[in-house]
Structure 1
Amino acid sequence: MSDSDDEMPTLSLHALAALNEFKQEEKQRLEKFEKLYQSAEDDYDSRGINDGKTDENNNNNNNNNNGNSENGYELNYNENDEITIDDFKEDWQLSQFWYADKTANILADELLDGADEDTTICIVSAPSVFAAIRSRPLRSLPTKKIYLFEFDKRFSVLSGKNNFGFYDYNEPLEFRDDLKGKIDRLLIDPPFLEPECQTKSSISAKALLRESSENCKLKTKSGVLKHRLISCTGERMAELMLKTYPNFHITDFYPEHKNGLSNEFRCYADFEGKNWKYES
């Protein structure tokens, strides 16, 4: 073995510069996230909200403290925080792939279109859509009863603790009791393209939505149907989606992701909106 065989490989100057740049960007991202987290905590405390427990018991806290939330918690955030989905690094082990900004805003628009102050919205496993809503001035939102359900507890920074619910599709009915049967408009995006994940997510969807079939006929003050159900998932899930959700149709809207996810995604919905029609 020659001496050259024992030498450690070295990075080129260009590769080393790129690595240092990546490390610096990662450091800045983490520092910003820490500041955002602290700002959210300070805002939470300043409004006199105290659930008295750790995040591990967050669902139980919301259940036990919902005596002050008969009409739902209203979304409240500091518009100067400038928090975006890009402040949260994707965790591919959790199948996290953020929507492209245009897609996230289209889905947000459809959830908000025609809603009124009595409309309750929940976004499950699609934090980039919640981030798109949060980027808008509070006064522009027709309703502030907007909730985010996520497995990744980092996103409580995005929604605020009162409007966050821990969600694990493996336990489809283990989530905040105060929101069961209370949701008018739901976007639920199963994180994995597997039949079990899709089926269990549908159990959650049915438990979240208002139970009465008459609710599907109720209209908001602007004359738009209050009920809306959306799910974006792989095209290969189409047969199962249409079987699991009898009122679903495949729409002509194609969701796109920031990092060029190769799987073909489709949008399934039980209504035609301003941004899509049913595929003929």
Structure 2
Amino acid sequence: MSDDGDAPALSSHALAALQEFYSESGARTGPDRFTVGEVEEDWRMSQFWYSDETATRLAEELVREAGEGGRVACVCAPSVYQKLKQGSVLGSDRVAAVVLEFDRRFAAYGDDFVFYDYNEPLALDAPRSFDVVLADPPYLSEECLSKVSQTVKHLSKGKVLLCTGAVMEKLAGALLGVQVCGFLPQHNRNLSNDFRCFVNYPSRLLDAATPPRA
């Protein structure tokens, strides 16, 4: 997440080098033994990881709302995906999770990774009908939120958890029917923007009442 701006793209040379590295790494360790959490925050790609407390709370929310055998999608929210896969959240082993990201380093997560460019919101190599979709648009702009919202609607069976700047509240409500929560998300870096969580369902963990009908 960041202020308005264009997402930097990796050069073809850099992508080839990364793919070679992960191919060699997979051969040494095997995809099932990859340690989730080894991919670290890169602020140059508009990545700002949540604090451990926030990532845990959001992961707990996804597990609770998805239910036994549920499926969750983390759109531009890799730190929450990592928290789910680290096994530190009760019940996380009972849900299936995928991470949608522009950063191809996350290809190290194997089939859980779906390449995602918000400029092409429906160009997805991913199944649909997720029980809960968590989205954290990488930029605070009307264009970015509008396009990410298309992705969310495409993926979601109904429940939506959105994390973005408070300034986007009105647009978020119009696009996704969400309302602001009492829970305040925090980041490892001190960001200047005022961030909030929004949901379209009642949430005890995030302190959100039942949203009004549209």
Pairing partner for 2:44 from 64, 68, 93: 93
Specify the alignment match of 2:74 in structure 1.
123
Q: Give the distance between the partners of 1:138 and 1:250, measured in 2 at CA.
A: 24
Q: Which amino acid aligns with 1:253?
A: F
> Structure 1 length normalisation: TM-score?
0.61
Q: Give the distance between the partners of 2:23 and 2:160, measured in 1 at CA.
A: 31
Residue 30 (structure 2) pairs with residue 43 (structure 1):
yes
Q: How does 1:76-115 map to 2 (within 5 A)?
A: 77-78=32-33, 82-84=35-37, 87-113=38-64, 115=67
Amino-acid identity (%) = 32
Task: Kindly state the Cα deviation for residue 193 of structure 1 after the two structures are TM-superposed.
Answer: 0.2
Residue 111 (structure 2) pairs with residue 162 (structure 1):
yes
Pairing partner for 2:190 from 252, 256, 260: 260
Pairing partner for 1:245 from 176, 182, 191: 176
3-state SS, counterpart of residue 200 of structure 1? helix
Instruction: Extract unaligned runs of 5+ from structure 1.
Output: 1-33, 45-76, 211-226
Task: Kindly state the Cα deviation for residue 142 of structure 1 after the two structures are TM-superposed.
Answer: 5.0
Q: How does 1:124-203 map to 2 (within 5 A)?
A: 124-136=75-87, 140-141=91-92, 143-157=94-108, 160-176=109-125, 178-180=126-128, 182-203=129-150
After superposition, the Cα gap between the structure-2 partners of 1:249 and 1:153, relative to the gap in structure 1 and judged at 3 Å, is same
Instruction: Extract unaligned runs of 5+ from structure 2.
Output: 1-20
C-alpha RMSD of the superposition: 2.6
3-state SS, counterpart of residue 130 of structure 2? coil
After superposition, the Cα gap between the structure-2 partners of 1:274 and 1:39, relative to the gap in structure 1 and judged at 3 Å, is farther
> Structure 2 length normalisation: TM-score?
0.79
Determine if contact 2:56/2:89 at 8 Å carries over to the other structure.
no
Task: Kindly state the Cα deviation for residue 229 of structure 1 after the two structures are TM-superposed.
Answer: 1.1
Determine if contact 1:151/1:168 at 8 Å carries over to the other structure.
yes
Q: Which runs of 4+ in 1 moved over 6 A?
A: 34-37
Query: Whose helix proportion is higher, 1 or 2?
Result: 1
Q: Give the distance between the partners of 1:40 and 1:122, measured in 2 at CA.
A: 27
Paired residues in the alignment total 189
After superposition, the Cα gap between the structure-2 partners of 1:132 and 1:36, relative to the gap in structure 1 and judged at 3 Å, is farther
Task: Kindly state the Cα deviation for residue 41 of structure 1 after the two structures are TM-superposed.
Answer: 6.7
Q: Give the distance between the partners of 2:163 and 2:89, measured in 1 at CA.
A: 26
Task: Kindly state the Cα deviation for residue 139 of structure 1 after the two structures are TM-superposed.
Answer: 9.2
Task: Kindly state the Cα deviation for residue 262 of structure 1 after the two structures are TM-superposed.
Answer: 1.8
Task: Kindly state the Cα deviation for residue 153 of structure 1 after the two structures are TM-superposed.
Answer: 1.1
Specify the alignment match of 2:16 in structure 1.
none
Deviations 1:100-156 (A, max 9, x none): 000000000000015111x11111100000111111169943534211110001112
Query: Whose strand proportion is higher, 1 or 2?
Result: 2
Task: Kindly state the Cα deviation for residue 272 of structure 1 after the two structures are TM-superposed.
Answer: 2.5
Q: Which amino acid aligns with 1:146?
A: A
Q: Give the distance between the partners of 1:263 and 1:36, measured in 2 at CA.
A: 38
Residue 167 (structure 2) pairs with residue 236 (structure 1):
yes
Determine if contact 2:48/2:188 at 8 Å carries over to the other structure.
yes
Determine if contact 1:252/1:279 at 8 Å carries over to the other structure.
no
